[in-house]
Amino acid sequence: MNADTRAPLLDVRALTKYFPLRGTTARVHAVDDVTFAIARGESVGLVGESGCGKSTLVKLIARVLDPTDGRIYFDGADVGTIPAERFARVPARARIQMVFQDPADSLNPRFTAFDTIADPLRRLGTAPTGQSLRTRVAEVAELVGLPRALLGRYPHQLSGGQQQRVGIGRAIALRPSLLILDEPTSALDVSVQAVILHLLADLRERLGMAYLFVSHDLNVVRMVTERVLVMYLGRIVESGPAAAIFDAAAHPYTRALVPAIPVLGSARHRERVRLSGEPRSPVDPSPTTCRFFGRCPDGFERCEREMPVLAHITDDHEAACFAARR
Amino acid sequence: MSFTVAKGETVGIVGESGSGKSVTALAIMGILHPAARVTSGRAVFGGLDLVAASESQRREYRGRELSMIFQNPRAALNPIRTVGRQICDVLLRHANLPRVQVRPRAMELLARVQIPDAARRFDAYPFELSGGMCQRVMIALAIACAPALIVADEPTTGLDVTTQAGILDLLDELRRTTRTATIVITHDLGLAAERCDRIVVMHAGHVVETAPAHRLFTHPRHPYTARLIASTPRPGAKLTELTPITGAVPDLRGALPVCRYRSRCDRGTDACDEAPLPRIAVDDGHVVACRFPALT
Ligand SMILES: Nc1ncnc2c1ncn2[C@@H]1O[C@H](COP(=O)(O)OP(=O)(O)OP(=O)(O)O)[C@@H](O)[C@H]1O
Ligand SMILES: [Mg+2]
């Protein structure tokens, strides 16, 4: 463990990922110049339009994808330069873990629940075999509320909620300090979602993990995170305490996003702001035009010739907008 | 279970997983796994009984008159064919368009489901698109031939709320302009509340309550419906206010009680074990399958 506990757990600087557009020399700017940090034990939400680069960003951080540019410091160490395929075997791997959206897709169909949870312990753990392994797996199963009797089952013999418990068990088996959750409950029904959200909150409290939580369900994000990052077309456009993002959003994109949350019991077809205009292309976008320009209700000529960068609204609230509300 | 959908109507089917929502949809579409069989009942569509129809009759209907938006877009798309080609395939098979118009029409469909820079993403493979983009490609496939009925199984779970609103507006426009009927299967009660005319609540293969959408959420009468609502996150609510539904959907393989919610219900009495399960009309268009409907 690093001695300096005041340094952030995760520190991401100017992180960038471009994908080549097949058959051309153009590139999709999936993640573009993203800078942020996560403190130890902090729970951070990541929200934004579908296709804006959330999954790409978290895959870069989990080091299953190599960045085009930028740096990733984890616990003070520069982990961004370790190639993804080698990262699978370095000790830091144990400390950054990921839970995926669809448990059915992300679990190996030929692994029992026991094997799935044991897999990271065998590979990177200190209890690779025999009785000590069985004890560790049983402990993890207990932590995630998976009855021991189910450990011998294959994914197709488990319900969606049980599968997600196995996925979470695999991720926390090595006691990571950062758990990345990419839409962990969107494939689950509301009742199971409620159970899993309570489980995640409980685990964070008991194990002191930091969370990076990606979700389209803004009500859920608000429940389980302390700070929220808002992404738009590859860039972070706003960052602040969850309460500020939901009640006093500064960026026009966030201000369109929050009221779009469907509400139970509200009248049908309730009037609300719609984003009009063409979204800008993620393919080689202009470096000197705000990505939201053209759809932004507050845009003006400066937004077309200069890229806004994150600027402080208050101490802990930032937005990248020339017309940001204060 | 029985329910009807009129032309231009949007009906929501809600309930937990395992309640039979998706199975109902697949049975309507006639694409249930060969091991499964519709044991009785009919799904009548514009006069044709889809359950009794031959496979070739059904194939004729699917894609042209009936189309389905699947729950898992990555699995439903062909991974080794570009998304543009997949839309062209559907148009060539069902749309009766002159060949030269197929590609522009496919491009237009991609743009309608809000894929930015659609022309340049036309040749992308599904793995090169985000989860929500794949979902929108599937929606483009489903609306390609202006079907009379769309069955949408969790159509927008992978979408942010503004894109979701845009896609639902698009489905709504189809409903108004071509009188498309829509069955939306979802566990997102907020979405169902805002977008459906009528809601059917399913539990363990039974319809337990059906009502006009607004009424269902403001005056739920079946205890299960009330529990579903309580387990749904609301704006600004705290995690401690979120209560999961106790118990589990009963094992549908064994002998089942008259009321399948009985073992999970905190208000049941011995009278609940008496057949048949009552279906009480508590209001106009509001029917509840409970001997002791909750007061609201
Ligand atoms: N392997 C890849 N090859 C090419 N382009 C890719 C690849 N993976 C992602 N992209 C592109 O990068 C952009 C961001 O995708 P990403 O999956 O990160 O979005 P997302 O924010 O997670 O979206 P969603 O909310 O729909 O899951 C998209 O334009 C996508 O098409
Ligand atoms: Mg994603």
Instruction: List, for residues A22-49, the tens digit of each pLDDT value.
Output: 888 999 999 999 999 999 999 999 999 9
Interchain contact, B136 vs A48, CB within 8 Å: no
A51 lines ligand 1 (CB under 6 A): yes
Query: In DSSP terms, which residues pair with B13 in a beta bridge?
Result: B185, B200
Q: Which ligand is nearest to the CA of B135?
A: 1
Q: Quote the pTM value.
A: 0.89
Quote the CA–CA distance of A101 and A106 in Å, as a whole number. 8
Q: Quick check: B77 and B138 in contact, CB under 8 A?
A: yes
Whether residue A71 has pLDDT greater than 50: yes
pLDDT in the model for residue B35: 42
Report the pLDDT averaged over residues A2-23.
Answer: 85
- Of residues A46 and B6, the one with the higher pLDDT is A46
Q: pLDDT band for position A19 (50/70/90)?
A: very high
Q: pLDDT band for position A3 (50/70/90)?
A: very low
Question: Looking at CA atoms only, how far is residue B177 from chain A in angstroms?
Answer: 17
Closest ligand 1 atom, CA of B135? 26
Report the pLDDT averaged over residues A50-74.
Answer: 95
Quote the CA–CA distance of B189 and B199 in Å, as a whole number. 10
List the B10-14 sheet strands across, edge first: B66-69, B149-153, B181-186, B10-14, B198-203, B206-212, B286-288, B280-283
Percent of chain A exceeding pLDDT 70 equals 94
Percent of chain B exceeding pLDDT 90 equals 30
Q: pLDDT band for position B31 (50/70/90)?
A: very low
- Ramachandran category for residue A208: left, alpha or beta (phi over 0 → left; psi -120 to 50 → alpha): left
As a whole number, the mean pLDDT across chain B is 83
Whether residue B256 has pLDDT greater than 50: yes
Q: pLDDT band for position A57 (50/70/90)?
A: very high
Report the pLDDT averaged over residues B279-290.
Answer: 94
Those residues with Cβ within 8 angstroms of residue B105's Cβ, 6 or more apart along the chain or in another chain: B91, B95, B97
Query: Chain A contacts of B245, Cβ < 8 Å?
Result: 191
| Complex prediction ipTM | 0.84
Interchain contact, A22 vs B123, CB within 8 Å: yes
Whether residue B55 has pLDDT greater than 60: yes
Q: What are the C-alpha distances in Å from B94 to residues A200, B39, B56, B149, B269?
A: 47, 31, 14, 15, 54
Distance B277 CA to ligand 2 centre (A): 44
Quote the CA–CA distance of B193 and A155 in Å, as a whole number. 33
